[in-house]
Amino acid sequence: MTEFLSQNILLVVLILVSGGMLIWPLVSGAGGGAKQIGTLEATRLMNTGDAVFVDVREATEFASGRIPKSKNFPFTDLGKRLGELEKFKAKPVVVTCAAGSRSGGAIRVLKNAGFSDLYLLKGGLAAWREASLPVEK
């Protein structure tokens, strides 16, 4: 066994690194403590008419296609624009981005600002499109 490990050290390192990357979102608290939901649950929240969809992509990304009725608050401006979101504090807020990476940071900002009913769309707009859900421009 030791001989195998020494002869295949690069393979062993690759396996350890890739495994670490797979479990990192679970142990790092990705999502900032929000409930992570899939597209099915997101559409259910959308259909109730209660939820607010906040897209934290940049304005140019947002203009190229977005979840219907979503509001654009780029992650880079989110802290400065929290006042505009205050009226939604009592509502469920679904946060999305391109693939889910910026949403986690946005969730933390919103949670620190007193928002409590937060949801992170797993996979972001990419997952939404993959599920063949409507996208508006």
pLDDT the model gives residue 60: 96
- The radius of gyration computed from the CA coordinates of the chain, to the nearest angstrom, equals 18
Domain annotation covers residue 136: no
Residues 39, 78: one domain? yes
Structure tokens at 88: 């939604």
Give the pLDDT band (50/70/90) at residue 7. Answer: confident
Question: What is the number of domains present in the chain?
Answer: 2
Residues 25, 35: one domain? no
Residues 59, 119: one domain? yes
pLDDT in tens, 89-123: 989 999 999 987 899 999 999 999 999 999 999 99
Angstrom distance (rounded) from CA 123 to CA 132: 13
Instruction: Between 131 and 10, name the one with better pLDDT.
Output: 131
Q: Model's pTM, two decimal places?
A: 0.76
**CA–CA–CA angle 132, 55, 124 (5° rounding):** 45
- Count Cβ atoms below 10 Å from residue 58 Cβ, excluding itself: 17
pLDDT the model gives residue 21: 56
Q: How many CA atoms lie within 13 A of 122 on its CB side?
A: 10
pLDDT in tens, 10-63: 776 767 666 655 554 444 444 456 799 999 999 999 998 889 999 999 999 999
For residue 15, what are the domain limits?
A: 1-29
**CA–CA–CA angle 59, 110, 57 (5° rounding):** 15
Domain annotation covers residue 44: yes
